[in-house]
Amino acid sequence: MTRNGLIRAGLFFGVLITLPFFSTSQWLTNMFIFTLMYVALASSWNLIGGYAGYPSLGHAAFFGFGAYFTAIVFTDSVGYGWSPFLFLPVVGISAAIISIPIGYVAMKTRADVFAIVTITLLFMAQTLAFNMHKLTGGAQGKGIAVPSFDPATFGRPFYFGMLALAALAMGASMYFRQSKIGLSLSAIRSDEDKALGVGVQVNRVKVLGFAISVGITAMAGGVWAYYEGFVYPQFAVDPLITIGMVLMTFLGGRATLWGPVLGAFILVPAQQYLSYELGANQFYLLAYAAIFLITMLVLPRGVIPTISDKIWLKKKQREAQA
Helix, strand, coil percentages for the chain (3-state, nearest 5): 80, 0, 20
Beta partners for 216?
none
Cα distance between residue 214 and residue 100, in whole Å: 10
Give the pLDDT band of residue 231 (cuts 50, 70, 90). Answer: very high
Cβ proximity of 92 and 59 under 8 Å: no
What number is the average pLDDT over the span 205-220?
97
* Of 301, 191, 214, nearest in space to 256 by CA: 301
Residue 136 half-sphere exposure toward CB, CA atoms < 13 A: 23
pLDDT > 90? residue 6: no
SS3 143: strand
> Which domains are assigned to the chain?
3-321 (1.10.3470)
142 pairs with which residues across the strands? 231
Q: For 2-9, what is the mean pLDDT?
A: 82
Q: Which conformational region is residue 137 in: left (phi greater than 0), alpha (psi within -120 to 50 degrees), or beta?
A: left
Residue 171 pLDDT > 80, yes or no?
A: yes
- Give the per-residue pLDDT at 278: 65
- H or E, element range at 98: helix 88-106
Flag whether pLDDT at 93 surpasses 60.
yes
CA atoms within 13 A on the CB side of 153: 9
Confidence band of 233 (pLDDT split at 50, 70, 90): very high
Q: How far is CA 303 from the centre of its chain?
A: 18
Pairwise CA distance, residues 231 & 70, whole Å: 10
Please give the average per-residue pLDDT across 176-196, as a whole number: 90
**Adjacent-strand bridge partners of 143:** 230
Is the pLDDT at 24 greater than 80, yes or no? Answer: no
Q: Cβ(186)–Cβ(29) under 8 Å? A: no
CA dist 166 and 215 (Å) reads: 13
Q: Give me the pLDDT at residue 78, please.
A: 93
Say what the alpha-carbon torsion angle 179, 183, 185, 190 is, to the nearest 10 degrees.
Answer: 170
Q: How far apart are CA 41 and CA 162, in angstroms?
A: 10
Return d(Cα 303, Cα 314) in angstroms, integer: 17
| Measured distance CA(188)–CA(195) in Å, rounded | 6
Confidence class of residue 288 from pLDDT cuts 50, 70 and 90? low
DSSP designation for 47: I
Query: What is the structure's pLDDT at 280?
Result: 55
- Residue 178 CA to residue 204 CA, distance in Å, equals 18
Kindly give, in sequence order, each residue whose CB lies less than 8 Å from that of residue 309, ignoring residues fewer than 6 positions away: 301
Distance CA 109, CA 125 (A): 20
Per-residue confidence (pLDDT) for residue 73, from 0 to 100: 96
- Taking each helix axis as running N to C, give the angle between helix 180-190 and helix 202-228, from 0 to 180 degrees, rounded to the nearest 10: 110
Bridge partners, 230 (sequence order): 143
d(C-alpha 28, C-alpha 21), whole Å: 12
Burial 271-300 (b: 16+ CB within 10 A, else e): bbebeeeeeeeeebbebbeebbeebeeebe
% of the chain at pLDDT higher than 70 = 96
